[in-house]
Amino acid sequence: MAATTPGGPPELSFPAPGRATITLVRPQHLNRLHREDLLALQAHFARLATDATLRVVVLTGKGRLFCAGFNIDQLGEGSDGTADPQLFERTVDALEALPVPTIARLNGGVFGGATDLALACDFRVGVQGMELRMPAARLGLHYYPSGLRRYVSRLGLPAAKRLFLLAETVPADELRRLGYLDVLVAPERLDAEVEALATSLLAGAPLALQGMKQSLNEVARGDVVLARLREREARCGASADLREGLAAFAEKRAPRFEGR
């Protein structure tokens, strides 16, 4: 488990078997992301990507906002002073590439690059009163390619144009209508809703969940290789999990999946 020093890089914890939580912990700065935070997130994602016991990941923030985006004072800056313009993009892409399902627990507003960080998760649960704003056009920024792709593939072109080109502040109810939020709840219901979603994901067969997550993301990107999808289909078809699932269905009991 990561250190719990207040106001530092994102913390990684394992609250229960099969579960991991990553928490942004700069509440005094509205969880604004610094270079060291992005590097810490990349390290956490790399660790989780190889954890065979993992089933679901929750990403959240501490305090009244989920995240105010990237610290623009460090825009394009490398640790040695050289340009590092793809650091944020690589970090968000690593989150999207995690093999297990991910949930963004949006405890408050989402701004700038944090909008894409949440969009890279498979599910987003938000709270009433939160807002979103993507101000790239007002800063003179052309957003990075994979972020544009995520917006268009997950929200559609009209919504992506509205959020990027108009740089509007969008309220929670509208975010639910646009499909940015999967679930919108009162703040006191946030943890219960995230728990219900995580429990539902934990009930699924790991191989099927991981395989279909990868395949669906590839379809959305237009990156379909049929042989790759057939390989995942065949792996699940020959798995002990499928045999267990069919047996459990016939016996009218809950299945006991092992991810093999």
Residue 185, domain CATH: 3.90.226.10
Indicate the angle between helix axes 206-221 and 240-251, nearest 10 degrees. Answer: 110
Domain membership of residue 169 (yes or no) is yes
pLDDT band at 127 (very low <50, low <70, confident <90, very high): very high
**Residue span of the structural domain in which 231 resides:** 206-251
Same domain flag for 35 and 121: yes
Q: Is the pLDDT of residue 83 over 90?
A: no
Same domain flag for 35 and 162: yes
pLDDT score at 82 = 46
What are the strands of the beta sheet with 19-24, ordered from one edge? 11-13, 19-24, 56-61, 102-106, 123-127, 183-185
Same domain flag for 192 and 133: yes
pLDDT cut 70: percent of the chain above it: 93
pLDDT band at 150 (very low <50, low <70, confident <90, very high): very high
**Average pLDDT across the chain, whole number:** 92
Same domain flag for 150 and 188: yes
Task: Count CB-CB contacts under 10 A for residue 177.
Answer: 12
CA 206 → CA 56, 155, 182, 239, 257, distances in Å?
10, 26, 22, 11, 7
Number of domains present in the structure of the chain: 2
**Mean pLDDT, rounded, for 38-45:** 97
Q: Is the pLDDT of residue 79 over 90?
A: no
Domain membership of residue 221 (yes or no) is yes
pTM: 0.91
Domain membership of residue 147 (yes or no) is yes
Domain membership of residue 51 (yes or no) is yes
Same domain flag for 81 and 192: yes
Last residue of a domain, one of 187, 202, 217: 202
